[in-house]
Amino acid sequence: MAKPMTKTQLVAALAEEMGTDKKSANAALDAMTTLITREVSGGGAVTLPGVGKIYCRERPERMVRNPATGEQIKKDADKVVKMTIAKALKDSVNG
pLDDT, block means (10 residues), the chain with 95 residues: 91 95 96 96 94 95 93 94 95 91
User: What distance in Å separates the CA atoms of residue 57 and residue 77, rounded to the nearest whole number?
Assistant: 11
Domains and CATH numbers, the chain: 1-42 (no CATH), 44-95 (4.10.520.10)
Q: In which order are the strands placed within the sheet that holds 45-48? A: 45-48, 52-59, 78-85
Q: Could you read off the pLDDT of 26-48 as tens digits, one per residue?
A: 999 999 999 999 999 999 999 99
pLDDT of residue 95: 83
CB 25 within 8 A of CB 11: yes
List Cα–Cα distances, 74 to 3, 19, 57, 62, 71, in angstroms. 37, 53, 19, 6, 10
